[in-house]
Amino acid sequence: MAALFTALFFIGTASLALWIDTRAPGLAPNGLLWRAACVVVTLFSFSFVPIVTDSYATLYASVFGLLLPLLTAMWLSTLWLFRLAADALASRY
């Protein structure tokens, strides 16, 4: 059951990131350096997220209050980096 939740959680945060990028394309930073910095910062910030397992309430609060926004930001910054690479390849040919 935990594997199903984890897979659906990742799919859900990726779809949230796609929705945010579709609705607000102006949020993407300009340039390769800023987009790569967004990826590095979101990946680095995962080491500071505490998952509290004292009770179900604190577990759900840490998963949905901390991990959901952070995973969405990670997918969004990765999507921005991939879009920049795709645009660079498209302009080259």
Per-residue pLDDT of the chain (93 residues; tens, 9 = 90+): 789 999 999 999 999 999 999 999 899 998 889 999 999 999 999 889 888 888 999 989 999 999 999 999 999 999 999 999 998 888 877
Q: How far apart are CA 65 and CA 80, in angstroms?
A: 23
User: Residue 57, CB half-sphere, CA atoms under 13 Å: how many?
Assistant: 0
Q: How far apart are CA 42 and CA 93, in angstroms?
A: 32
Question: What pTM was computed for the model?
Answer: 0.87
Q: What's the confidence (pLDDT) of residue 15?
A: 97
Residues in the chain: 93
Q: In terms of residue numbers, what domain contains 52?
A: 2-92
Q: How many domains are there within the chain?
A: 1
Say if residues 66 and 38 touch (Cβ distance below 8 Å).
no
Closest CA to 31 of 90, 91, 80: 80
Q: What's the confidence (pLDDT) of residue 9?
A: 95
